[in-house]
Amino acid sequence: MAGQARNFAAFFPEARLVLHVSANARFALPELEAALRAARCDNVTINPVRQATRWGGILRAHLANIGWIRRAGDATRICLHASNDMLVRPGVADCLRRPGSFLHTRPIHPGSRWRFAAPALADPQLRTLCRHLGDAPLFGSQVEGASFEPALLFEIAALLERHLDGEAAYPREEVWLATAAHALGPAIAGRPYVLSEVHRFDRAFWRVLGYADPLIGRPGDPLHFPRRLIEYLMIRSGFHRTRRRWVDRIAADDAAWLAPWEWMSDGNNTWRLFDRHGLFGVKRVPRRTGSPLRRYIDALAPSPAPRPRLPPVPHEDV
């Protein structure tokens, strides 16, 4: 966490981090506070509200942070991030001077190859939310690097709080926030500024399925064992992992090299993954502090701040 805070301090110094700590985290808050203090991370506020987090149940953590920011009352822009993305190029603040939301405009229709389309379409709570929004169509968006104007996000959060219950078999944060923003806000102004390896994996996986489906049958069935086996083997190969060449190209704002990946097809619709000159970060970066990729990105930081080793924090000060 201290490493993430230093990354933002270097590449996005205008930002204030509101850190949600899971209720089932495997460390105590005093440990985190001591690590942040030792690294002189003065750009972080720890949200005292803690939600239990698990796959398919992260949306409440985002809503908790949005609630804290609303109570603080001094945000000019709200951006969403995860603990495994990192910025690699300065200039996010200038990019965000444009008004409006930065989200994917990913339509969700029956027959989409996106693995979360079917469970989102079958989610009864989401159907209720859409009816409340005037039969709003479903949209998906990556959360990392998404950005909202505060007033709109506060309205969305209040609405979602009234409809959200239990858990789901898909990451609701990737659908509920975008669907509500498309329905309630003005036209989307830009795309998320973090490039995720998930989209590069999907692009290759779906291309393979285009050849395999006629042979293995049951096209579009995400639970079909042969299809799951192909997906598992491709994941294990690691071909899609974020590597230094991607970091270097984004850090250099090499729009021409990145252009072939600018648009995505889900099989029945096409949407823009990122804006030209609008990428500033990458996902997924290993969370290990000694990760070669994490250390490589740290070395790219402009004017890296010194990281002195401070004495241990006395217990009574924690």
In the CATH hierarchy, which top-level class contains the domain 2-195+278-317? Answer: alpha beta
Place of tokens 């998320």: 192
Nearest to 41 by CA among 310, 318, 314: 310
CA distance linking residue 97 with residue 55, whole number of Å: 33
Give ∠ CA 150-156-160 in degrees, rounded to 5.
140
pLDDT at position 73:
86
pLDDT tens, per residue, the chain with 318 residues: 899 999 999 999 999 999 999 999 888 889 999 999 998 999 999 999 998 888 888 999 999 999 999 999 889 999 999 999 999 999 999 999 999 999 999 999 998 999 999 999 999 999 999 999 999 999 999 999 999 999 999 999 999 999 998 888 899 999 999 999 999 999 999 999 999 999 999 999 999 998 998 888 887 777 788 889 999 999 999 999 999 999 999 999 999 999 999 999 998 899 999 999 999 999 999 999 889 999 999 999 986 444 434 344 333 332
Q: How much is the pLDDT for 314? A: 39
Length of the chain: 318
| pTM for the predicted model, two decimal places | 0.90
> Is the separation of the CB atoms in 276 and 255 below 8 Å?
yes
**pLDDT for res 74:** 84
Q: What is the pLDDT of residue 265?
A: 94
- Residue 311, both tokens: 């004495």
The Cα-based distances of 70 to 41, 42, 158, 173, 257 in angstroms read 23, 20, 11, 19, 40
Q: What is the pLDDT, as a whole number, of residue 303?
A: 65
Which pLDDT score, from 0 to 100, does residue 305 have?
Answer: 45
- The helix/strand/coil state of 316 is helix
Give 171-205 pLDDT, tens digit per residue.
999 999 999 999 999 999 999 999 999 999 999 99
Q: Quick one: pLDDT at residue 194?
A: 98
Q: Where are the domains of the chain?
A: 2-195+278-317
Distance between CA 51 and CA 71 in Å, rounded? 18
